[in-house]
Structure 1
């Protein structure tokens, strides 16, 4: 099931239904009578169609989320944008009301902030098999800017990410020997020039508003200048800002990752998601963080993190707790 048929939900539902014609899919929408040219193995319904069963559901409910994020991202006020998105989406998604229909399902959460929504669903609906989606595109953006700004090419499985997609995924640089030093080495203006040049050529040919990349890079600077994590985060923010045009970043990029994730669910592979774990790792409270889920066994694990990465994750956990309190009180 795909719940929420905006641009991304429509792309995912069309994609997975076409590639899996022997399976049946349901689209949950506020307008179940509309016709979007779906194949015969798709039918539409409203929330009541969820029923009480164990079919997995991909939650793409959102209220102009991409437009809000784009405006605040370009303005350099991403924290304010996240808070507004959280408040808007919270009004749309009511897990307490739908608890009986979600409790025994696997839920893949696309609605942002992903980790906040996952925690809310787990706590209020008692849903245990809930996973956040987004780490795949975070990892791809990091690989894109490494290639464009530093000339470093990495394979899809070489750079793990952790932390929170709903805040800012943390690249696990310690997983690649020498990578942090290579990111810190060139002067930051040189990296920015390389990214500008890539945005003006076919190396980043999917960017819809390449001028925004320059705007973000001119406003944000890593502090300290040679901090490899901050450098990579700013470059990825600039790339994300340039991807947006109107309501959403290129659907083929985001939708492609969602389609691949659904495909993996049918073949029981290992996938990158956010899932519940303890933080601190030794007996802490339950939080949702990015790691790898083994679909065959159900085992979830965080990547190995060095001291710097552990500290960054800890700061994100506190930021998400503060955001959760602010949203619940609004």
Structure 2
């Protein structure tokens, strides 16, 4: 028995020294990881403590420890709120539009750019489609406002030039969603191609050469080589996208929101802003945030499980 304990301690010391050696050997990699790790700890994990107020009637002057505990009261209020179903449906509709119209665009752009042989044209085009990502939503929405306004907007001026009646794009509820999704594509499509282009760059060129020798054209090479090679990347990004089903972003929608289109434009993020910051209902808004996170987590786990059953790698 004594010999077994001695051997176990020797193995433990060896494994500890081996771990220390590996950590020291790769020390600069861990130094590079440190800012990212600190970011997640400070801004993602530590704030989880604040979720306690979702179950309290939080009062800032009493603090977390002194506020009254109300259990699931705020969640009951959320699900019985008269506008809850409308707000939830608006959020889900915009998400589905993102999934149907925006998600495929970066893939298509990456496939098209991969087929371009002129390096100069390729670099210029990439720069042009990347640029909108570096502009804030304020600038994107402002540019759209200038183009779509009835008072001198270029789109309405063209409509008027052809003898048609001007359209109030900015106030008409039926135009909110098309404008929203167009702006998302305009700003993010080019930036979204980066991951796909990186995945395409890792494909063995010998596969294309073999396909060409067998008489496969460009389209067949894309369909039978490029797309299957980047399928795992597409699946992972799709899972992450579905996990953000209720996370459309506050700023973009809030900038497009007005009293005329509120019925179709009010989403969970803007509702949280109104209830939390404008009305000071911190516990209620925290409960809504927890509800969003829970739904996202469940969907990520569910879709990841489905992808693994279909033979894909998934995100974990």
Question: TM above 0.5, one fold?
Answer: no
Question: TM-score, normalization: structure 2?
Answer: 0.25
- Report which of the two structures shows the higher radius of gyration computed on alpha carbons: 2
Question: TM-score, normalization: structure 1?
Answer: 0.24
Q: Which has the higher helix share?
A: 2
**Relative contact order (C-alpha < 8 Å, sep 6+): which is higher?**
2
